[in-house]
């Protein structure tokens, strides 16, 4: 499966394409960043990043797009731009019928380094090793995008299993509720039928 990982940003939007093979084998297809000039207006910056992302979708034909989930605990202005970029990237993927997955920074760190608290440097070092790259991808946003793609490839089978298990559990719960409801209805019918029938049959038997 081929995944495009996206570390959303207006100034630098990290992009990384990774192929996943058997088990945990992964290989880097392409890595880079989409940029937009800081002095431009927001709408044209979003367009510049979106156009570059669409070019990557056309050139590399990924089957899934994995985007970093944005949180608002950081700088408010930056976060809004980041959220807007993640929106236009998700839209570009959806328009091509591609599934979009979101992973949080700590999910990515945990998947790549085994710890949700790893710092940027550790993630870069690990992703360089995992993908067997000759040198560390630069800037950090590009490395993060590769980490996102690998995180998706490694988490996706687990998430699928989880989704299947949840669906099974939900079905069992539905069946159980249906049986309970049927039992309640039967007992209610017997009750409502009971008092009416009682005098009749009672009359006969007595």
Q: What residue numbers does the annotated binding site for Mg(2+) cover?
A: 7, 68, 141
Residue placing its CB nearer to its own copies in the complex, 19 or 54: 54
Q: Is residue 58 flagged as an active site residue?
A: no
Active-site residue, 19 included = no
Catalytic residue among 39, 68, 171, 185: 68
**Could you tell me which of 128, 107, 105 has the C-alpha nearest to residue 16?**
128
**Tokens found for residue 98:** 């591609």
Q: Which of 39, 58, 141, 200 is catalytic?
A: 141
The nearer residue to its own copies, 91 or 193, going by C-beta atoms, is 91
Tokens of 53: 């992302």
Q: Quick check: bond before 15 cis, omega within 30? A: no
Contact flag: residue 34 with its own copies (CB under 8 A): no
> Out of 4, 29, 85, 148, which residue is the one contacting its own copies (CB under 8 A)?
85
Which of 31, 70, 150, 151 is close enough to bind its own copies by CB under 8 A? 70
CB of 55 to its own copies, least distance (A): 15
DSSP assignment, residue 32? E
In this structure, are residues 86 and 68 in contact, taking their beta carbons and an 8 Å threshold?
A: yes
Cβ of 65: how many Cβ atoms within 10 Å? 26
Using CB under 8 A as the binding rule, whether residue 55 contacts its own copies is answered as no
Active site residue 119: no
Out of 15, 88, 123, 130, point to the residue binding its own copies (CB under 8 A): 88
- How many residues are there in the chain? 206
List the Cα angle 38/77/87 in 5-degree steps: 80
- Dist CA 51 CA 24 (whole Å): 32
Which residues make up the interface to its own copies (CB under 8 A)? 41-44, 46-47, 50, 70-72, 76, 79-80, 83-88, 90-91, 93-95, 99-100, 102
Catalytic residues: 7, 68, 141
């Amino acid at each position: 499966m081929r995944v495009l990982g996206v570390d959303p940003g207006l100034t630098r939007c990290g992009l990384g394409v990774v192929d996943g093979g058997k088990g945990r084998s992964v290989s880097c297809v392409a890595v880079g960043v989409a940029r937009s000039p800081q002095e431009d207006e927001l709408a044209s910056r979003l367009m510049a990043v979106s156009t570059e992302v669409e070019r990557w979708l056309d050139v590399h034909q990924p089957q899934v797009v994995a985007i970093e989930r944005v949180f608002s605990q950081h700088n408010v202005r930056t976060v809004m731009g980041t959220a807007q970029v993640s929106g236009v990237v998700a839209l570009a993927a959806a328009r091509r019928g591609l599934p979009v997955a979101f992973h949080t920074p700590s999910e990515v760190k945990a998947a790549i380094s085994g710890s949700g608290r790893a710092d940027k440097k550790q993630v870069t070092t690990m992703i360089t090793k995992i993908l067997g790259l000759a040198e560390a991808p630069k800037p950090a946003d590009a490395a993060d995008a590769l980490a996102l793609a690998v995180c998706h490839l490694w988490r996706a089978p687990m998430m699928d299993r989880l989704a299947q298990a949840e669906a099974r559990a939900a079905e069992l719960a539905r069946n159980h509720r249906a049986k309970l409801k049927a039992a309640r209805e039967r007992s209610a019918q017997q009750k409502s039928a009971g008092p009416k029938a009682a005098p009749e049959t009672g009359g006969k038997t007595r």
